[in-house]
Amino acid sequence: MGQKVNPIIFRLGILKNEWRSKYFEKNLEEFSLYSFQNIQIKRYLDQFLNESGLILHDYKMYFNETSLHLYVSYFVTSKILLNISKVKRKKFETKTVCNSSKISIFLKNKLQIYKRYEKFLLINKFRYQTIIDKNSFIEQILESLTVFLNRRLNILIIFQQVRKGLSLNFNNLNYLDKKILKNKFLFFRRYLREPFFKDMFHLLILSVKLKSSASLLSNFISNRLVKMKKHTQFFFLLKHILIILQKTKISKIRGVKIKIKGRFNGKSKASSKFIIVGQVPVQTLVTKIDYSESISYTFNGTFGVKVWIVYKN
């Protein structure tokens, strides 16, 4: 049986591919040390973001003897998207009121003032809490990096949220294309109550619009496999939404190939499942391919996820 080579390494030197980490070593010992630190920092960021309800999209690193520069783009899942209106509010105790109309009007006005003041306090508390969470989030990463590297460095980290301002831009489409797309997406209305549908829909839009999205898609699939026991509906939606988005004019991809191996639906034997959308010429060296793989640890054993995304030239 033939072994499949990593398509990114296979194309280095042929296309204008760049390493996602850059460093300058003086000898072989520094080269091995920097390579090890690069892999460990990548794993730490991936795990830390995953525990915080975030999914790593892209990662670039540059470091030398005095400084460390990190660029991290991430996808926010619905796990941490808090809505203020859903926060449980304290209920006011209703007391017996005299029949006098003046007293009842006074108590109603007082109750409205209390409710407005409570809403004001709740919103401010939410704002301050988000600021505190962000500060502690960054401090934990900085502290962990300094302990791991065991030396004083000037650390610069740039975070970018890829979901912010995300929308389907159909302004370039004509009226007929918009109507066809609208009718196709109306088919998925029955799945709106599914917990994973909203995140999946937004993430697949990103996957067809942005580059270097293979790791984002593979990490999302592996995270969802941990929380599910039945996988048929999830794979059905994943395939059909990708088919629709790949044919739109906003899509920048030629094709997607997903391979998942494990014990599906709690079966005793492991099997492989392929989802292929569009054209995926893996052996053609000129094609621009992004590749990623991840592992999902579930009650039914481990699932291996591999994703190939072919972009348009």
What's the pLDDT tens digit per position in 119-152? Answer: 665 555 545 455 445 557 788 888 888 888 887 7
- pLDDT at residue 212, rounded to an integer: 84
- pLDDT at residue 113, rounded to an integer: 63
Order of strands across the sheet that contains 301-311: 271-278, 253-262, 301-311, 288-298
- pLDDT at residue 114, rounded to an integer: 59
Superfamily of domain covering 167-313: Ribosomal protein S3, C-terminal domain (3.30.1140.32)
pLDDT more than 70, % of the chain: 74
The CA-to-CA distance between both ends of the chain, in Å, stands at 32
Q: What is the mean pLDDT of residues 8-15?
A: 80
Tens digits of residue pLDDT in 280-299: 988 888 888 999 999 999 88
- pLDDT at residue 102, rounded to an integer: 44
Q: Where are the domains of the chain?
A: 1-87+121-164, 88-120, 167-313
CA distances from 248 to 9, 75, 178, 242, 264 (A): 30, 22, 10, 10, 31
Task: Report the chain's C-alpha Rg in angstroms.
Answer: 25
- 83 band by pLDDT with thresholds 50, 70 and 90: very low
Please report how many Cα atoms fall inside a 13 Å half-sphere around the Cα of residue 87, on the Cβ side: 13
Is pLDDT at 167 greater than 60 in this prediction?
no
Looking at the domain covering 1-87+121-164, what would its CATH class be?
alpha beta
Nearest Cα neighbor of 265 from 241, 223, 235, 221 is: 235
- pLDDT at residue 184, rounded to an integer: 73
Task: Say whether 167-313 and 1-87+121-164 share the same fold.
Answer: no
Which position has the higher pLDDT, 95 or 140?
A: 140
Q: What is the mean pLDDT of residues 159-185?
A: 67
Q: What is the mean pLDDT of residues 226-234?
A: 85
- Average pLDDT value for the chain: 77
Is pLDDT at 93 greater than 70 in this prediction?
no
Nearest Cα neighbor of 290 from 258, 266, 261 is: 258
Longest dimension (CA), the chain: 90
